[in-house]
Structure 1
Amino acid sequence: MNFKGFFLLLFSVISLNLMAQVPSDMSNVKASQISNAQLREFLNRAKSSGLSQAQLEAEFTRRGLPATEMEILRQRISDIESGIETADETTSVDSTGADGTNMRANTKRQVAKSNNRLLEIVEDINDKKPKIFGSELFANANLSFEPDLRMATPKNYTIGPDDELLLNIYGLNISQQTLKVTPEGTVNVKYAGVINVSGLTVDVLTTILKNRLTRYYPGLSSGQTKMQLTLGNIRSIRVILIGAIKRPGTYSLPSLVTLFNALYASGGPAENGSFRNIELIRNNQVIQTADLYDFLVRGNQLTNVRLEDNDVIRVPFATLLVTLTGQLNRSGIFELKADENLDKALEYAGGFKSYAFRGRLTGSRITGYERRIVDVSGDSLAYFKPHNGDEFVVDSVINRFQNRVQITGAVFKPGSYALENGMSLKQLISKAYGLREDVYNGRAIVVRKGLDLVKEYISVDLKAILNGRENGLTLFREDSIHVASIFDLRDTAIVTINGAVRKPGIFRFEEGLTLKSLIMKAEGFADDATGTGIEISRRKRDINVNAAGSDIVQIIKVNDTLDLSSSAADITLMPFDIVAVKENPFYQPQISVKVSGEVLSPSTYSLQSREERLSSLINRAGGLLYTANIAGAKLVRQKKDLADSADLKRLFRSLENDSTKSASAFEMKKATDVAIDLAYILKHPGSADDITLEEGDELIVPRINNTVSIGGEVFKPLDIMYEKGKSMDDYISAAGGNTPSGSKKRAFVIYANGSAAKIKKPLGIFRSYPKITPGASIFVPQKPKREGFDVGKAGIFISAITALITAATLITR
């Protein structure tokens, strides 16, 4: 029975149950969910996939495939192989489901999707399978093993029919001849006549020609004339490759081809072919046995001999294949010779990785009827004889230390140390370069694991060790010692400085720390600081909790200068003091505002006073140009954070995470447009409309724009020239009118200065359209989407009305 086809079938069944991914639970898989046609296709795929039964069987056992379904599938496969097929249960008729869909069409779609999933699964398993060592040599397109046809003519090259020879004579005599070897193996040389060269080497033919031509070229004997015989075009030879090879057959190759060239042309040995005993047969005799491992491991090409016409290359089947995986430099399937042991296979695998467990190799072996486990100790690798099909896994080292003890805390070099025989705690402290000055010389804690792996805590008296009265307890493997510091047994004291210093923050308290030293730690006063009125908030330890209004802190005020020359700055601080350095109330940094656009001198200006207004800024900028669009002028003001509460931040985060709206819709703008009437401001400076400027304000005066923009839900959004007296309805009509989805009555206008206006109904009847000015933009929005009739809401509404009527009736009675 074809077990590969059976397990490949199960892959398709998995895909039919869950098309998006292979389920981890196969307990509900049904054998009836696949047709006979698909089953035959899967059997054919299994034959070419090369998947081992053990790999697939382990995978489906792990996923819980029911044994009953396996039996049904086995029976169906047996019927197909014997030529007995029953009608398909899944695709025999065109049935229609309860929802009106065609069930046969659905099944075909499911089968097509299962095929795609099947191919993905097979490819994934094939990628994880160990590869034959050496197979990549013939699968790498960048390593072609093509013969070098431009190499110097080999002296031992054997000449044959169709070769082309170049004969050059130079020196006192000059002559050039091209000699074509005839099918009979002869060449016709000027002065020397017809010579039979078939089977001769280039070196031998050179000697023959020199002897025959000496009488015509006397300089050849004296050396005054030279002769050179080289190959021109080379012939093709026929090489036959047979045996366990990927593409056996007869190949026509250049006569310079070698054994490796021919193997590469044929795709190399097959999966079960030998890489170690490749035979070169010439004239019915084996003249060379090639071992590709000599080249793969050592780069030795002694067996890469040149081929001759009618050579036969035979690749026998491999007889001893061993699989090595795990913590090796090269995992794969390795071929061994009969006299080689397991250590040779490890050598071909590149040896162990640094963290490989070398004490023992565990593997499996196939006997005549079952598998068995094989254990090989590390010291017997050189003597162990593996069998064909053995599989070994090299595991990682055990994650534990055989001689480690650890020490932490108040020692100069805490860490892990090697445990020596009979090492005491005193010796370990000495290895850690002794105890620090902050050591708590009372007791240390030793954590030790007992035989039952339960942790035991042992308290050790350090005073006796420090005084030399004893060496302390004897340490065991994996003991962990913690030497406490005096700082571990109390809070870490800090001081805080806030306000007008260059680096406010929290600093570690040190004995004798003064206010002047703390300010220097904070990198000195800030530019706006004042040395007077510095406050130190100190904790009180005598608070009267029963007295209302009693102080909870002690406030110490210090008056000093910015150069810290007063002795008041030498006040000694206490742990957890908080220092507040005040800002100078009479200090004010410059306030910068910007003017851009159609003014005489656009630039950034500093305000003369905190009450300077917009009209004063325009006068300082030289006034407006004649091209200025006064009606379109606007003021851009930086937003101030009015609140910084956690509730507001959570609100904005929730809005950003709302999948129904884009995140940008809730992005907080850093600036806002302030609509202004610049013409009125210039005529009435100092009025309420003449805005007082703030830090970061920017006045933008645009150029005169005589167009009106129409956008939104209109048939032809465009910009058209402004015409005085033209209404908003006229401009919308010029853009083709509103689309069916556009709401004309909700249209609005955005003016050049940032303000906006909408259509109004003063008396609730007639529409009043906003005035259109140059540079304005008209926008027609979409009609609001109407929700369908909500039965639930209607029910609630009717219930509420019924309750009101009932209540009114009772009150009336």
Structure 2
Amino acid sequence: MKKIVTVLFILFALLQSSEIIAQDLLNVNDLSSIKVDNLSESDLMKIKTQLQSKNMTLDQAEPIALAKGMPAAEFAKLRARIDRPTLKETTSNIKQTNIGGDREQEKITNAKVKDTENSQIFGSELFDNPTLNFEPDLKLATPMNYILGPGDELQVSVYGVQEYNESIPVSVEGKITIQYVGQIAVSGISIEAATQKIKAAIARVYSTVSSGQSKVSVSLSRIRTIKITVVGGKQPGNYSVSSLATVYNALHLAGGPGKNGSYRNIELIRNNKVYRNVDIYNFLVKGDQSDNVSLKENDVIRIPAYSQRVTINGEVKRPGIFEMKKGETFAQLLNFASGFNEFAYTASVNVTQKTAKEFKVRDILEKDFNSYLPQSGDVFQVTKILNRFENRIKIEGAVFRPNFYSFTEGMRISDLIDLAEGLKEDAYTQRARIVRLKSDLSTEIINANLAAALSGDANADILLQREDIVTVYSVLDFREEYNITIAGEVKNPGEYTYLDNLTLNDLLVQAGGLTGSASKRVEIARMVKSDTIDDSNPNRIELINLELTPENNEQLKNYALMPFDVISIRRVAVYEKPQMVSISGAVVYPGSYVLENKKETIYNIVSRAGGLKDIANTHGVKIKRPLKADQVEQLQRVDLNLSLSDSSSVKSNEKLKNQLKYATIPVDWNKIEKDPTHYSNVTLFPGDQIEVAEFNEGVRVSGNVLLNSEIPYRKGKSFQYYLSSVGGVDAKGWKKKAYIIYPNGKADVTGSFLFFRSYPKVLPDSQIIVPEKPERKKLSAGEMGWIW
């Protein structure tokens, strides 16, 4: 007994370990006891799912499993079983499972072939569409009238006091075998009859069934496949289909009727007799599926050749080729084509017919649509209605509702004006224009007196015709648009529309009123009009001078203006707003100062700022004057007399474009202090910035030198001394073009005469700059030869 318990315990442990491993292969700490042979197909599927959820492959999982004690041989078995397709995977291509009722059916596949040759035939698209297959729905409840046969499978369940559940196939002999009950013949009877038969057989064995303590349930778990034959289709042949399949399902598999196949007279042959004639148009036109009957074993679907086809083109909703049965009329053909569209000419239809020798044309009138019988080969052409109107008339211009209106015989011009709700106030009533279309489609103009027509004059109230266009003029159309101009000291000078009785006060208010700088002088320039030329008077305009009150827009004398007048409001002689300059640096009171007069000099502003501080550098006083846009453009246009290949030319242009915003004016303060009338005591402009530098004993050396640095100032030392102090000029330095910038902004350059070179004097806080040698293009041998 102990041995049995031990064996059961070990078996339970193995099963538990397998269950744990199947649930989480990577998180189990000990895999030494794993036996891959004990894993079921569902366990393998769980392992696959786990690896996919972690985005891992077997190669990535192998070192983890071996580190947890799993034998290499067992992992090799695991790899082999996972790589081998399972039973479920190998059968998934031929079986389809119904999730709702676990009902299975062999899946029938058929590649669809697009029939471009017969795409115009009505109904052909039904069989070219792969999403339309008419397959039976396996999720539906078991049909009670379903006839069982070999290949079907029944799910028989007993539940209640006694329980039994088994899936039982119907054998080739047409029987099912139930344990302890025996064989029961079910082939050839309905599922409902088989259920009663099975219940009765089980009740004889299970006493609880006969007493009602247990119940019996019978359902169809697997549907058999039957063989049918399709003849005359695009893909004729023998097909294996579901026993629940219908005629349309089989026709779809076969691609529908062939090139010359009929859509109206398809024969379903059963037991060598025509069981039903199928007309697909019933489904296409009405949605009627009464012909879509279920198929049985060995059924034959025969698609004969069509008897007659006709074509309908043009203005119908569904043009194409249609098959007609004997006795069907053109009205029925029109129904197949879904009727005329919105632009069709419906009074008659043109048809081209074939005779034994040639073609002929015939017109089918609307009254004959229900009686005309189309013939095979007929081509019907439905044309468009004409782009013209049978009763249209139009009125435009100075009426309240210009538009198209319906024309009636006997309509006069007064009637049309009434339809347009009358004339506008600006209507010109002495003349109206009627543009009329003549019988030869040329046009003519007829003039009408509206005033007389509306007063009851029958002769003036002209009779209208279809397609007449009546134009009512407006008196505003004959008026010239006049303008008037105001310039000078108003807020919104410009051009304004002249209106009758316009006065100077009206125009001043419209222009936003007078500005504070307006003077009392007003000049009006007026156009001169005359029928004769006066050579003694050379004036082209008349000048009118007025005086107004600048403080008031409403003038006492409200002067009347004329079209095209030009009014000029003059500015007062003296109207200057306070203008500012600024001073910064080593002065006692830096800041902004108002220019007291037009001759304000730098000496005056420095004096008003408290004078220079003790730390001020008298050589470092300068003025920065803002440059205007036109001044920058002028500087950019200056010809620097440099070659296009010269790098300094490019750099100079960039500096002018991006950096130059101020003009620097150097000031010699020492001479100004001695003589305030010296030329350095310049007159200031609004916006000038005075800068007074603090004293600095250093001299800055920069540019193309070995070391950019600041050297202490030593009185009497030369320009060369400071260049030598920073290591001299580098390989790109242009020493002979070296220059110095003094603290006040003044610059000086190195000069030369014959073989002698003179260098500028150096002052404290100066800056010595060595520029770069220009990059010049070397001439080629060919260019040298051309020069010589």
Category of TM-score, reference length = shorter chain? 0.5 to 0.7
Matches of 1:265 and 1:457 in 2, distance apart?
A: 71
Which of 282, 297, 301 is 1:309 aligned to? 297
Percent identical: 36
Q: Displacement of 1:248 after TM fit?
A: 1.0
Matching residue of 1:287: 275
> Separation in 1 of the partners of 2:186 and 2:116?
53
1:427 correspondence with 2:427: no
Q: 1:565 to 1:299 in 2, by over 3 A?
A: farther
**Alpha-carbon distance, 1:200 to partner:** 1.8
Provide closer, same or farther for how the CA distance between residues 271 and 127 of structure 1 changes in structure 2, counting only shifts above 3 A.
Answer: closer
Measured at CA, do residues 185 and 537 of structure 1 come closer, stay the same or move farther in structure 2, by a change above 3 Å? farther
State the Cα deviation string for residues 213-258 of structure 1 (Å, max 9, x = none): 2344566567664433222222222121111x21111112222222
Aligned to 2:442: 454
Tell me, yes or no, if the aligned pair for 2:578 and 2:594 is still in contact at 8 Å: no
Q: Judging changes above 3 Å, is the alpha-carbon distance between structure 1 residues 188 and 474 closer, same or farther for their aligned structure 2 residues?
A: same
3-state SS of the aligned residue for 2:418? helix
* Aligned match for 1:673, one of 657, 661, 665: 657
Instruction: Answer yes or no: is the 8 Å Cα contact 1:425–1:474 preserved in 2.
Output: yes
CA RMSD, Structure 1 to Structure 2 (Å): 5.3
Query: Is structure 2 residue 477 aligned with structure 1 residue 485?
Result: no
Counterparts of 1:99-118 in structure 2, within 5 Å, are none
Relative to total residues, which structure has the larger strand share, 1 or 2? Answer: 2
Structure 2-normalised TM-score? 0.57
Structural mapping, 1:761-780, within 5 Å? none
The answer as to 2:383 corresponding to 1:399 is no
1:158 to 141, 147, 150: 147
Superposed, 1:437-516 pairs within 5 Å as 437-470=425-458, 472-495=461-484, 509-514=498-503
Aligned equivalents of 1:344, 1:590: Cα separation in 2:
97
Letter in 2 for 1:383: S
**Taking structure 1 as reference, are residues 554 and 724 closer, same or farther at Cα in structure 2, changes over 3 Å only?**
same
> Which residue does 2:78 correspond to in 1?
none
Hey, what's the Cα distance between the residues in 2 that align with 1:529 and 1:325?
A: 82
| Alignment partner, residue 645 of structure 2 | none
Any gaps of 5 or more consecutive residues in structure 2? 1-114, 581-591, 596-625, 635-652, 670-678, 688-701, 705-726, 734-768, 784-788
Q: How many residues align?
A: 536
Checking the alignment, whether the CA contact within 8 Å between 1:637 and 1:674 is kept in structure 2 is no
Query: Secondary structure of 1:207's partner?
Result: helix
Q: Deviations over 1:144-186 (max 9, x none)?
A: 4333233322222222222221122334443211011112221
Sort the Cα spacing of 1:671 and 1:577 in 2 relative to 1 into closer, same or farther, 3 A. Answer: farther
1:680-719 maps to which residues of 2 (within 5 A)?
none
Query: Against the structure 1 CA distance between its residues 677 and 294, is the aligned structure 2 distance closer, same or farther, given a 3 Å change threshold?
Result: closer
Choose which of 123, 128, 131 in structure 1 pairs with 2:120. 131
Aligned 1:554-703 pairs, distance under 5 A:
564-566=553-555, 571-577=559-565, 673-674=657-658
CA distance, structure 2, for counterparts of residue 390 and residue 671 of structure 1: 87
Q: CA–CA distance in 1 between the matches of 2:444 and 2:376?
A: 52
Q: CA deviation at 1:473?
A: 2.2
1:277 corresponds in structure 2 to 265
Contact 1:639–1:670, Cα closer than 8 Å, also in 2: no
Indicate the residue corresponding to 2:620 in structure 1: none
1:227 lines up with 2:216 in the alignment: yes
| Counterparts of residues 24-39 of structure 1 (less than 5 Å) | none
Name the amino acid aligned to 1:256. L
Task: Provide structure 1 residue ranges, at least 5 long, that are not aligned to the other structure.
Answer: 1-125, 592-605, 610-634, 644-668, 695-703, 707-722, 730-772, 788-813
Distance change (3 Å), C-alpha of 1:249 and 1:572: farther
Establish whether residue 170 from structure 1 lines up as the match of residue 173 from structure 2.
no
Are the counterparts in 1 of residues 526 and 541 from structure 2 also a CA contact under 8 Å? no
Where do 1:61-72 residues align within 5 Å?
A: none
Say if 1:226 and 1:369 are closer, same or farther in 2 by CA, change over 3 A: farther
Q: Tell me the secondary structure at the aligned position of residue 201 of structure 2.
A: helix
What is aligned with 1:326?
Answer: 314
SS at match of 1:153: coil
Instruction: Summarize deviations over 1:328-372 as a string: whole Å, max 9, x none.
Output: 222221222222211222222222221221122123222223222
Question: Which whole-Å deviations, capped at 9, do the CAs of 1:187-225 have from their partners, x for residues lacking one?
Answer: 112344212222222122112122222344566567664
Give the letter aligned to residue 467 of structure 2: E
Q: 2:539 aligns with which of 542, 550, 553?
A: 550
CA distance 1:678–1:378, change in 2 (3 Å): same
Q: Does 1:411 align with 2:399?
A: yes
Larger Rg: 1 or 2? 2
Trace 1:46-57 onto structure 2 (pairs within 5 A): none
Compare 458-467 and 559-568 and name the one that shifted more.
559-568
> One-letter code of the match for 2:195?
T
Tell whether 2:234 aligns with 1:250.
no
Look up the match of 1:92. none
On the 8 A contact 1:147/1:257 being kept in 2, the answer is yes
SS in 1 for 2:428: coil
CA contact 2:627–2:661 (8 Å) conserved in 1? no
Q: Distance in 2 between matches of 1:212 and 1:335?
A: 55
Q: Give, in angstroms, the shift of residue 403 of structure 1.
A: 1.0
Alignment partner for residue 148 of structure 1, among 132, 137, 155?
A: 137
Choose which of 199, 202, 207 in structure 2 pairs with 1:213.
202
TM-score (norm 1): 0.55
Kindly tell me: are residues 558 and 344 of structure 1, through their superposed partners in 2, closer, same or farther at Cα, counting changes over 3 Å?
farther
Secondary structure of 2:364 counterpart? strand
| Contact 1:495 1:577 (C-alpha < 8 Å) held by counterparts | yes
1:198 aligns with 2:187: yes
